[in-house]
Homo-oligomer: A and B are copies of this chain.
Amino acid sequence: MKHQITIKDIANKLGLSTSTVSRALKDHPDISPKTRTAVKELAGLLGYRPNRIALNLRNNSTRTIGLIIPEIEHYFFSAIINGIEEVAYKNDYSVMVFQSNESYKREVINTQAVLTNRVDGVLVSFSKETRDFSHFQRLIDNEIPVVFFDRVTDELQADQVVADDYQGAFLAVNHLIEKGCKQIAHFAAPQSLAIGRSRLSGYHDALLKHNIPYNPAQVVLADTFETAKKAAHEILRKPNHPDGFFAVNDMSAIAIIKAAFELGIKVPGEIKVVGFENSKSSALIEPELTSVDQFGFDLGREACLLLLKRLKDVDDSSDFKPVKKVIKTRLVVRGTS
């Protein structure tokens, strides 16, 4: 890198001290209007830009937030990043992205990385593997504000922003029942994740509301395209297969539809399917997928706003009360139900 213009360069050329230049640049009243304009003029001429690193050191703040996320290549998460980046941008923060790739080990390394990078705060959605949260506790111990989103835990004293998974699941299953489904299967996420538990719970309660007995055999763990496709094939091959499917995400839902197509089963004629995410893909397939919109962009926005609020209220050490923000979900009815 080329030599950057510093305050010292300006001071030398003008025969002033660096302190005067510094003050002149920020309109300090001690400085006479004459020197003030002279300094500013030269600064503009030389293309002076304050060295953020020096300020970072002095202020012990980087105006950067760390983002730890399972994987970017997933519509929901990229929508969230979008929301986060939007808020960060408007507040003059930068975002550093770290992917865990659903690996616990990598996630631990990521938490170290955000520490060494001295980010001001961290936004986290942890991996499917993560059972132990002590690496996040380490961040909190260092008094770095942490906000969890989507994948959250109550084991830590930290803010959370989540979609209303229970409500979304309830709406979805209720919808299937109202559309005439008698036997509804649920393709679930790992129960170690709160989203897995909440969505199962919504599924459960919607059944009960309509006096349909809950049958654990109708719940299978399948939250990826591959696992869901395999599971759907097995289930749909049986004679008395379910006539309704509620999948924990759109990929699983689409896998079910694919499997049905391959087996010559009509959607929504013979089986109906509802997904969760309202991803771009849901509107691309034919028939289009009914899905629960979890407003990833808004979720990202809210998470980032909450974090920025924490960063402002620095003196939160004593009376810290974790906040849990819930983003309402909405059922988008399309062709598969």
Residues of A within 8 A of B (CB): 1-2, 4, 49-54, 56-57, 60-62, 64, 71-75, 78-79, 81-82, 85, 89, 94-99, 113, 115-118, 120, 141-144, 254, 258, 261, 280-281, 284-286
Contacts and interface: CB of A to CB of B under 8 A. Distances in A.
A2 B142 CA distance: 6
A4 B53 CA distance: 18
5 contacts: A1-B143, A1-B144, A51-B118, A54-B57, A286-B286
Contact of A85 (B99, B115, B280): B99
Given A73-B75, A85-B98, 8 more contacts: A2-B143, A51-B118, A53-B118, A54-B57, A56-B57, A71-B82, A258-B284, A285-B286
Contacts of A94: 96, 98, 113, 117
Identify the interface centre among A61, A116, A142, A284: most chain B CB within 10 Å of its CB. A284
Nearest to A59: B53
Main secondary structure of the interface of A (DSSP, over half): mixed
A144 B4 CA distance: 11
Contacts of A2: 141-143
Contact of A116 (B49, B75, B120, B254): B49
A51 to B, nearest CB: 7
Contacts of A261: 286
A115 B49 contact: yes
Given A4-B142, A60-B1, A82-B73, A116 B52 contact: yes
A88 to B, nearest CB: 10
A11 to B, nearest CB: 19
Number of copies: 2
Contact of A95 (B97, B115, B143, B254): B97
Contact of A96 (B53, B79, B95, B280): B95
Nearest to A60: B1
Given A96-B96, A285-B286, A53 B62 contact: yes
A71 B72 CA distance: 12
A46 to B, nearest CB: 13
Contact of A73 (B52, B79, B120): B79
A98 B89 CA distance: 8
B286 A284 contact: no
A211 to B, nearest CB: 36
B285 A52 contact: no
Contacts of A285: 284-286
Nearest to A67: B97
A193 to B, nearest CB: 22
Contacts of A258: 284, 286
Contacts of A113: 94
A229 to B, nearest CB: 11
Nearest to A4: B142
A297 to B, nearest CB: 9
Given A49-B115, A284-B258, A284-B285, A72 B82 contact: yes
